[in-house]
Every structure is written in structure tokens, then in C-alpha cells.
Amino acid sequence: MRRFQPNEEGYYGLFGGAYIPEMLFPNVEELRLRYQAIVGDAEFQREFETLLRHYVGRPTPLYQATRLSEVHRATIYLKREDLCHTGAHKVNNTIGQILLAKRLGKSKIIAETGAGQHGVATATVCALMGLECTIYMGQLDMERQRPNVERMKILGATVVPATSGNMTLKDATNEAMRHWINHPTDTHYIIGSVVGPHPYPDMVARFQSVISQEIRAQLTEQQGNPFPDYVVACVGGGSNAAGAFYHFLDEPHVHLIGAEAAGHGVESGESAATTALGRPGVLHGSKTLLMQTPDGQVIEPYSISAGLDYPGIGPLHAHLFESGRGQFLNATDEEAMKAGIELARLEGIIPAIETAHALAVLHQLEFSPDDVVVVNLSGRGDKDLETYIRWGRY
Amino acid sequence: MNNRLSQLFKQKTKNVLSIFFTAGFPSVNDTGVIARALEKAGADLIEIGIPFSDPIADGPVIQQSSKQALDQGMNLKLLLEQVKQLRSEVTLPVVLMGYINPILQYGIGNFCRDARAAGVDGVILPDLPLRDYNEHATLFHANDLSVIMLVTPATSDERIRLIDQASSGFLYAVSASSTTGARAGFTAEQEDYFRRLAGLGLRNPVLVGFGISNAATFQSACRYGAGAIVGSAFVSMLRNSTNLESDIITFVKAIRSVS
């Protein structure tokens, strides 16, 4: 497993690295020097696995979706990350990082959040471990996602509105980084996706890699072969996709499909389809594909799903795209909403709208009848009820 | 070497006053007006910020000025034209400071060539890692551009030496582990850090930045290094200014006044 692992400086091919001001160097360097030893430690692994099993509820089921399979004329499995505690895969990473933070001797945790899922997952593990928790969230997102704001507060977190820029995820990330610059010694920053300066993309991918580890074991058990023909996952920053792809990266016969948010359409000017619209650039500490103006200013993305509403993608995904190892498709708001409702009607599962993008791109793929397809069902739709209701067409 | 920065530090090694402002703020065409006023007011060095949409190392004042400048249509190409124009009247060294992404999009080679042609003497690129800088070092050198890097109170002596070796012009000593912004004074810990820097026998002169807002902080910063940089306090003043030239002269005089 080398081709798709970062080198020592955190580069996946041309992408990655640590583009940070000197003020962040000590924190990021401490992580870079220590994370492999900490995460590789047997006691850490034991604690991580125990919490994933008894607290998060892992392994999550791999469910063969018969009626959805009929529609797509292939065997479709759903990896049920939506059944994780807190309702999405995000918690796999926050459990890992909170254990890491404790071993680094940090007493305070900060995080950014868009839709609020990562914020809730962070507030949850902070409550579990008794650490002080501050979540940065764009003021606009706070208004759009009130229930998640209240969930974080119930869990004891302080939610700070990010009022700079357009007041969404990108700005919340800026504010969290500024907070970290100003509080370098006692604070750990739990980044929620496979973005940020090295070693974050690798660290988060490893914590999420439990998803593909389980898929391999479950496919072996259910069909006698660990390899699907396709793994499909939605990509905002790309943490659930990184986790679902991870143990298949060096298996070229497994097609890796990322589903991005096209918003109102790739060419509409209101989109978050980074691989279609982005060029190499630097944001939040790493070099990656980035939606930007010709002058290098970052473009505010748009998607109906707040979790895909990010102008970049993790450097691993940029590398998968550039190298051709991964294929990136996109779905509009409308296609995603329809696919979400389709799953509800066929399988009795209301998916998160992020996840619905992965389901939508199934309609763009040509399967053979004997193909085995795993869709990473990254989150449940409870948080999106408002959006479904406003959509109305069900 | 015709670099105005090297000339400056040959002539002056104490009380060097560098002033930072955001290009295109308060109005797009104020860049030249401000630079001329600073020269008249007796500043030693001008740092012009290249606005960026996501300035993670900056506090609210500079963030807000960057956003306003961008909203008004400021960009790097325009800034280089403005520098070229102001060069007919301004002889002070000019340093451009900015995040790396707009420069990557412009092309580092193109940027170095055009910056030199415009009369820029140095660059400060806080989020360009040392590794990447070393890759491009010959481009900066060939265009006679000093590359000024940051050190902070948390930077180890060993790393300070490494950064000093790679830097030219001066070393930018960030006064605290913080984002940019004005503060009232320095703590004993900060003074220890300034003394530590002074004792390292670095090859570059040291200017202290972040938190320098008035005569008192300027003087204490100058006690240990070659001088200091004023940024947010100056940008705040610009925001409220009704007469840029006279307000800038008053501001610089106040910073320079001996209490």
C-alpha cells in the first residue's frame, strides 16, 4: 500500500503538504512527529476499537439492498454508517482524535462544522472524555441547522458563530485555525475531514478506514470474496469516501467512485463540484483541487447539502482524480433529493442529503448484472427533515 | 545588489519603522496615495498586503480590510501595476506580503519577474513552507527579491537559525503566538523572547511585528531588534481617516514620538 499513501511530508502525488504559517508550525509538527507512534500503539488501538464497538455501535451492517439492486440491475450493498452513534461516520474520526488529544496532553478541543454533524460528533466525544469543547460554525449555517446547534449545546459545547466571509463552513474553518494559532499549547484541533495540513488528511483517513476494513470482512462473509466491483461515496472534503476507499486503493479492479455536489448544475455558478470546476491551489493548509477565481480567491461553493458545501477536496481525492484511480461524478440538488426519496421508498431508509448524492450517481453508471456495488451510506436523514419537507415532492 | 532593503539596513540598524497596509484599502486606488504619504511621514519600509479571501493568520481588522479590497476589485495584477506607478515618487523599500494561493495562480516565476520589474524589494509569504521556498529560491534570488520569513516565540533556536539562513532582508519576529492585531503592551515572556533572538547572533536584522500599536510598544520592540512593524493599528486608522495624507503623517509621528 504505497502509491496512495502520503510521503513523509504529506504529499499524495502533487497534492497535500503543510502550507501553514509559522505560528501553527509547533502544533502541526508535534502531530506529524507523534501521530504514527500514538495511533500505532497497541493500547491506543485497543481503546479505539473498544469505543467503536461498544459506544459507536460498530461494526455497522453491510446490508444487501434487494429492491434498490433491482432498479440498478446489479447487487447493491449499503454500508450503514448512518447507524453509527450521532447518525453519521463522523464519529469514527472524533473518537480517534480525542484519544490522540488525550495522549498529547491537550485539555481543550476545537472543531469546525458545516451542517453540524462533525460538531455534534466532536461535542459528543468531548462530553465522553470530559474535555472543554468549542465549535466554530458559520453564522448562516447556525441559522440553517438550529437543531444541531442545540444538540451541541446540550452536550456541553460552546458554539461560536463565524461571522467572517460568507459565514459558512470555509469561514468556520478559518476561525478554528485562528483560534488554534492563538491557543497553541493546551488545545487540539479536531478537523472533521481529510483536509488541512499534513498529517490531518492521513490521520482522518486512517480513523475512517475502519469502514473499508469492515466492508472487506463483511463481503467475504456474505459473498465469499472481499472485493466489490464498485465503491461509491459522496465527497465534500471526502472523509467518508476516504474511509470507504482506503483498503481498496491498491486493488485496481475495484472502481472507486466519488459523488460531488453539482448544486444547481456544474455550470450554473452555484455548485460544489470541485473536480469539475477546481484547479490546484492552497487552502486550509494543503495543496489540492480548489474552486477559485483566476486571481486565486476561493469561490464560495453551493449545495443543498451543507456537508458537501466545501470549495476543495482532500488531497488524497485530488490525487485519485488526477491519477485516474478514482472517478468523480456529480449530482445536482434535484437528482440527490430524488435519490434520497427513492431510497426511502425502496428500502425504508431516509439518507442524509450528502449521502443521497452517492445514491444519485448510481443512475449515471452502467453496471453488469453480476457487478457488486457498495454504497457508503454515510449518514441518516434526520438532520435533513426540514430540507426534505421544504423540497416537498414525495 | 540594488535591493532597497539591503541598502536600508546598511544605513540604519535601529528604530526601523515598517508600516503594513492592505492593497486597495480603503479604496482601490489608495495604494499609491498611502505609500507616498508614508515616505513623506518618515516611515522606513512599506509592507503591502495582497488581499486573500481566506486569511487564516489575520485578526479581524486585516480580514475586514482584505474583504473590502477584494469586493472593490483589488487583485495581484493591479497591485503590481500600482507599485510600478508609485515607484516614480517613492524610494522606500517595498515588500509584498500575502498568502501563497494568489501567487501560485499568477505563477511564481511570473510573479518574481513582474514584482522585480515593478520595483518590489521583498516578499513575505507566511504560508509558504520552507521546503517549497527552497524549491523556488533561485527564482527569488535571480529577481533580487528578499524573502522574509516569520519566527514566533514557539520557534526553537535551531529552527530560527534554519529560517535565518533561508531568509534575506530581515527576519520577521512575530511577537506572540497569535493572529495579527493591536495589543497594549508586551509581557515579560515576550521580552525574554526578544532577548533570546537578539542573543542568537543572526545574520539578518530582526523586525518585531504583531501587537505593535503605539509609541510604547514600538520602543520596547526596538530595544532588542532593528525595529518593528505596525499593521492592524495603521489599517484601523485608515478605515476612519478623512484625510489620508495628514492622518498618516500624524500617525507615524505619534509612533516615533519618544515618551
pLDDT tens column, B36-60: 999 999 999 999 999 999 999 999 9
- C-alpha radius of gyration, chain A, whole number: 19
Q: How far apart are the first and last CA of chain A?
A: 45
Same domain, A194 and A248: no
pLDDT reported for residue B259: 58
Alpha-carbon distance B249 to nearest alpha carbon in chain A (angstroms) = 31
Residue A162 corresponds to which cell in the numbers above?
463565524
Can you say how many angstroms the Cα of residue A263 is from the centroid of all Cα atoms in its chain? 18
Q: What domain range is B231 assigned to? A: 13-256
Structural domains counted in chain A: 2
Residue B152 lies in a domain: yes
- Looking at the structure, tell me whether residues A34 and A180 fall in a common domain: yes
Using an 8 Å CB-CB cutoff, list residues of chain B that contact chain A: 52-60, 63, 67, 70, 75-77, 99-106, 126-129, 131-132, 149-152, 154-155, 159, 163, 174, 177-179
Contacts of B104 in chain A (CB under 8 A): 280-282, 296
pTM score, whole prediction: 0.96
pLDDT tens, chain B, 259 aa long: 479 999 999 999 999 999 999 999 999 999 999 999 999 999 999 999 999 999 999 999 999 999 999 999 999 999 999 999 999 999 999 999 999 999 999 999 999 999 999 999 999 999 999 888 999 999 999 999 999 999 999 999 999 999 999 999 999 999 988 888 877 788 999 999 999 999 999 999 999 999 999 999 999 999 999 999 999 999 999 999 999 999 999 999 999 997 5
In a domain, B3, yes or no: no
Judge if A197 and A214 occupy the same domain: no
Residue A5 resides in a domain: no
A170 and A65 in one domain?
no
Which CATH number goes with the domain that contains B17? 3.20.20.70
Of B56, B103, B126, which is closest to A177 when you measure between CB atoms? B56
End-to-end CA distance of chain B: 38
Residue A37 neighbours by CB under 8 Å, 6+ apart: none
Q: Which of A182, A204, A226 is the endpoint of a domain? A: A204
Q: Is residue B71 among the annotated active site residues?
A: no
Q: Are residues A36 and A169 in the same domain?
A: yes
Residue B202 lies in a domain: yes
The three grid cell numbers given for residue A130, joined into one nine-digit string? 470530559
Please tell me if residue A147 touches chain B, with a CB cutoff of 8 Å: no
Q: Is B202 helix (H, G, I), strand (E, B) or coil?
A: coil
A112, A175 Cβ separation under 8 angstroms: yes
Query: Which residues in chain B have Cβ-Cβ distances shorter than 8 Å to A295?
Result: 75-77, 102, 105-106
Helix (H, G, I), strand (E, B) or coil at B34: helix
CB B66 within 8 A of CB B58: yes
Domain annotation covers residue B187? yes
Q: How far is B232 from chain A (nearest CA, A)?
A: 16
* Domain-located, residue B151: yes
Residues whose CB is less than 8 angstroms from the CB of residue A27 and which lie 6 or more positions away in sequence, other chains included: A180, A184, A189
Q: Helices B130-142 and B157-166 sit at what angle, rounded to 10 degrees?
A: 30
> Same domain, yes or no, for A182 and A291?
no
Q: Is there a contact between A165 and B55 if contact means CB atoms under 8 Å apart? A: no
State the total domains in chain B: 1
**Pair B166, A38: CB distance under 8 Å:** no
Cβ distance A116 to A152 under 8 Å?
yes
Asked if residue B94 lies in contact with residue B83, where contact means CB atoms within 8 angstroms, the answer is yes
Nearest neighbour of A181 by CB, restricted to B70, B105, B179: B179
- The position carrying cell 492585531 is B181
Is residue A215 located within the same domain as residue A101? no
Do A75 and A176 fall within a single domain?
no
Return the C-alpha torsion angle A88, A90, A94, A95, nearest 10. 50
CA distance A305 to A30: 34
* Residue A8 near chain B (CB below 8 Å): no
Sign (positive/negative) of CA torsion A152, A154, A156, A161? positive
Beta bridge partners of B227: B16, B207
SS3 string, chain A, reads CCCCCCCCCCEECCEECCCCCHHHHHHHHHHHHHHHHHHHCHHHHHHHHHHHHHHHCCCCCEEECHHHHHHHCCEEEEECHHHCHHHECHHHHHHHHHHHHHHCCCCEEEEEECCCHHHHHHHHHHHHHCCEEEEEEEHHHHHHCHHHHHHHHHCCCEEEEECCCCCCHHHHHHHHHHHHHHCCCCEEECCCCCCCCCCHHHHHHHHHCHHHHHHHHHHHHHHCCCCCCEEEEECCCCHHHHHHHHHHCCCCCCEEEEEEEEECCCCCCCCCCHHHHCEEEEECCEEEEECECCCCCECCCCCCCHHHCCCECCHHHHHHHHHCCEEEEEEEHHHHHHHHHHHHHHHCCCECHHHHHHHHHHHHCCCCCCCEEEEECCEEHHHHHHHHHHHCCC
Note the Cα B4 to chain centre separation in Å. Answer: 14
Q: Which amino acid does the sequence have at A158?
A: T
Among A143, A169, A204, where does a domain finish?
Answer: A204
Residues from chain A contacting residue B171 (CB–CB below 8 Å): none
Say yes or no: A76 and A154 in one domain. Answer: no
Q: Is residue A232 part of a domain?
A: yes
Residue B2, domain member (yes or no) = no
Consecutive sets of 10 residues in chain A, 394 residues long: mean pLDDT of each?
87 97 95 96 98 98 98 98 98 98 97 94 98 96 90 98 87 95 94 98 98 98 98 98 98 98 97 97 98 97 91 98 98 98 98 97 98 98 93 92
Instruction: Give the Cβ contact number of residue B134 at 10 Å.
Output: 10
Tell me: do A160 and A173 sit in the same domain. yes
A285 touches B: beta carbon within 8 Å: yes
Nearest Cα to B234, choosing from B88, B61, B70, B76? B61
> For residues A271, A276, A278 and A280, what is the CA-based torsion angle, rounded to 10 degrees?
160
Which DSSP letter does residue B258 get? Answer: -
Question: Is position A90 annotated as part of the catalytic site?
Answer: yes
- Assess whether A36 and A79 both reside in one domain: no
Same domain, A286 and A339: yes
Please report whether residue A162 resides in a domain. Answer: yes
A106 is catalytic: no
Q: How many Cβ atoms from other residues are within 10 Å of residue A265's Cβ?
A: 14
For residue B174, the chain A residues in CB contact (below 8 A) are: 22-23
**Cα(A111)–Cα(A117) distance, rounded to whole angstroms?**
11
**In this structure, is residue B173 part of a structural domain?**
yes
Give the structural domain span for A309: 57-88+209-391
Structural domain contains residue B4 = no
Which CATH number covers residue A182?
3.40.50.1100
End position of a domain, from candidates A156, A178, A204: A204
Tell me the count of A-B CB pairs closer than 8 A.
Answer: 106
